[in-house]
Amino acid sequence: MSVKQLKIPLFTLASLLFGLKTYIVYRFLFNISLDNIMQEFILFINPFVSAFLVFALSVWFKERRQLKFIRYTALIGTLIIYFNLLFYRNFTDFITIPVLFQGSNAADLGSSIFGLLHITDILLFIDVAVIWYVGIKFKSVVKVDYTRRNKVMALSLSIAFLIGNYVLAEIERPQLLQRTFDREYLVKNIGLFNYHLYDIALHSKTKAQRVFADGNEMPEIKQYVKENTTSDQKSELYGIAKGKNVIFVSLESFQTFLINNTMNGEEVTPFLNDLINESYYFENFYHQTEQGKTSDSEFLVENSLYPLPRGAVFFTHGQNEYNAMPEILGEQGYYTSVFHANNKSFWNRDVMYNNIGYDKFFDVESYEVTEENSIGWGLKDKPFFEQSIKYLQNLPKPFYSKFITLTNHYPFELSEEDATIEKYNSNSRTLNQFFQTARYTDEAVEQFFNQLKESGIYEDSIIVLMGDHYGISDFHDKAMSMYLDKEEITDYDHIQLQRTPFFIHIPGEDGKVISKIAGQIDVKPTLLHLLGVDTSKDLSFGTDLFTDDRKGYIALRDGSFISDKYIYTKDQCFNRETGELLGVTDDSLDDEEDQSTVCKPIKDKVQKELSYSDQIIYGDLFRFYDFGTEE
């Protein structure tokens, strides 16, 4: 047999090597859930389909350009995979186009990025090195010249493979491309690279929404809000804090599983545990953030609108018209401010804060930050509160002031002299350190309460504490199952781990633990009602947590929801109290009994609600709405 007959098409070799590498990343480095053999098969074939589709384009180039195309395509493709892997290690999510526009944040990430790098990551580039080496040193055994017939065949096969992949994906998950909120579904069914192409198309579509919006969407949205979230009922606490200062503390990465819990026999958050007895504490309060994390939690609190499914509203729509809480309180005579010892442009806060009505932003320039009093993301929480008091004392009264803490932030670093609790012992360095930084923040909040009392501010203020989002992602499920003494962290457990602490502390008021389902979407109407501010002309998707007349569910940004009786996530319906799986709610099923499962009516309402909120933001619809006269 001649050497010529043994030649291997270089694009085929590249497709096999790159596809295999991609599958290994999907299967073993991303935490992608697989429920059946069909999903396993689709996950296996889609990286090869994507690789073949792209590398097959090289046959249309001349030999020199063909080699260069294959080499650089392999390199660029690997970098795309790697950047997604780094992002996934921190957020258990995939990069979107809006996230890329947040690249200005990267300079502030510091040790967070380095904590995501693994020495073994270099193995991801082995196939790139092999392709480069073979293309240069073994030209005699690889084929780079093709007849027109072979070129057409390569193109036809790549398209056929792509269509076949999509057909299988549609069989497995009907209406797949409508599930834009579930990036894991898209990646495991059509592949990372096809997902990115789809994301680009989505981004183009959403950018056009504002251009073509004319306000005609508002009557339908207003009617939905009136029927489902607006309540004429006033709670017994309406106006109880009228005229008082509001001090809002955003607790970085704080999750409810820390509260009233121990580690190695010690309370993790002793001060917050005691504070429950003197506060309204919501034990079933859920964060509802997505890719914008802390900025998403701020957006939820200030606007009672949902964050976007892709990117951060603070970046993508920071110039929109809003009817935010700082602006509303400013009209009520409040001086509004934010305290955060970070770069003012991080998450585009300087632009967004000004737009939603904040009078003053005390950013990192307002603080003395040294090597001794900072770690991780910057100024430690204790000196942060200590240095903030002098500013707080001099603010015009009444004031609404928000404090954003930093220490309990990934990668949860803390110096030995600041650690007052031992590290946990598991296979996750992240979880091991999490308890120490959480304890430190707990101590910082206790110190802040004492400083408020000493300064004379405490008695005439209400103090709100809220965890902004999760700290431990499901990338650390094995360690979490060990800490929580569970065999595994199920999808039901994952939703329950999205609970974050929410305290409303009103000096002189007795404490009460409230078990009703609550979320960040409810904070704005709840606080405004406590301050005696009428919200009948506002338009929001939250309700006052102290009224009985409120919707019985909380929607998460990925389409999951928690209701009084049920939890729905990833097409599964659970009993909220027991965690028992109740049935399948897949829309593709013909069985009427499955179609009418208890979760489906709420699921449909959640999708409508998320869609309405997105329309408001993408279309900048509040520019067509007069909050002063609308009924």
Active site residues: 294
Helices (H), 229-361: 270-275, 293-303, 313-316, 325-331, 349-355
Greatest CA separation found in the chain?
93
Whether the CB-CB separation of 341 and 367 falls below 8 Å is answered with yes
The alpha carbons of the chain give a radius of gyration, in whole angstroms, of 27
Q: Give the span between the Cα atoms of 432 and 430, in whole angstroms.
A: 5
Q: DSSP class of residue 28? A: I
Q: Give the span between the Cα atoms of 559 and 553, in whole angstroms.
A: 12
> Taking CA 337 as the corner, what is the angle to CA 332 and CA 343, rounded to the nearest 5 degrees?
155
> Taking CA 572 as the corner, what is the angle to CA 570 and CA 577, rounded to the nearest 5 degrees?
120
Q: Which residues of 47-61 are buried (b: 16+ CB within 10 A; e: fewer)?
A: bbbbbbbbbbbbbee
DSSP per position, 79-127: HHHHHHHHHHHHHSS---HHHHTTGGGGGGTTHHHHTT--GGGGGGGHH
Q: Give the span between the Cα atoms of 602 and 70, in whole angstroms.
A: 49
Residue 317's SS3 state is: coil
Neighbours of 620 (CB within 10 A): 18
Stretch (H or E) spanning 614: helix 600-618
Choose among 578, 554, 587: nearest CA to 493: 578
Residue 567's SS3 state is: strand
Distance from chain centroid for Cα 387: 30
Tokens of 597: 């499962």
